[in-house]
Amino acid sequence: MSDEDDLRAFVAGVDGFADVGHASKVRLFAWLQHFLRKKDRFGTADINWCYEALSYRPSNTSQYLKNMAGKELLKDKSGYHCEGKFLALYNDRYGTHDITLNIRQMVKDLIDKIPDVAEKDFMKEAEICLRHDAGRATIIMMWNVAFYHLCQFILKHHLAKFNTGYQAHYNKKWQDAKVKTVATYDDFGVDLKESVVVDICRREQIVTDGVAKILVAKLNIRNTVAHPSTIHVGQLQAEAFIEELITNVILVLPI
């Protein structure tokens, strides 16, 4: 998800926002610079970016910001930033939105259903990361949950098919492998990349093409955030990552 997607998703959860006046819009957009866009300082252009991203016609944004200065906003040479009481008020009012609550409940419900101790521990760590707005860590931990779940699904239901497919589709790798017959979870990590495991599952129809596409897409995201970069991972992106893996992978591959 892009910054624009995050903004649209967030505002969609604020009832009646399209009909409120410019003063209320500017206040929320100012707070979102910190909460959603992770900016230390912002200016008129940043507020107008929100208007443009949502296809709203802006008003006299600079004047609204000036009216807020010294009360709801503070200003220094680098730009505006939210005053502490104003920031706390909006954090309480909007910081935990319906999407967040739904995802957190989904994670808690799944933890309660998981019989496997290791998978349950992975999920608890993902929940902690999500609660503390650690987007990168959330995605990494949630991928660990999904891949571990996939491996358990193979071990319990399709192990013979997987091993046959491994030899058939990756014969050169299989010939050079230290572990030629997968029998435990740890065996998957000896010679096989996660992408290869997913591909064998797709080729052998252990999972559907749709599930395989989701796994490939989420693995690519995991790989991106796992390495140092300037890419920011927002709360909504992390929540969307969790929601899709739980709904379209974990819950459709019962173990």
* 213-232 per-position pLDDT tens digit: 999 999 999 999 888 766 66
* 14-41 per-position pLDDT tens digit: 878 889 999 999 999 999 999 888 899 9
**What string of DSSP letters covers 149-200?**
HHHHHHHHH-HHHHHHHHHHHSHHHHHH-S-SS--SHHHHHHH--HHHHHHH
Q: How far apart are alpha carbons 3 and 224 in whole angstroms?
A: 17
Domain 3-94, what architecture?
Orthogonal Bundle (1.10)
Per-residue confidence (pLDDT) for residue 12, from 0 to 100 = 77
Contact residues for 182 (Cβ-Cβ < 8 A; gap 6+): 154, 155, 159, 162, 163, 166, 188, 192
- CA 68, distance to chain mean position in Å, is 33
Ranges in the chain annotated CATH 1.10.10.10 = 3-94
Per-residue confidence (pLDDT) for residue 103, from 0 to 100 = 63
The answer, as to whether pTM is greater than 0.85, is no
Residue 112 to residues 119, 121, 221, 242, Cα–Cα distance (Å): 11, 11, 27, 16
Query: Coil, strand, or helix at residue 81?
Result: strand
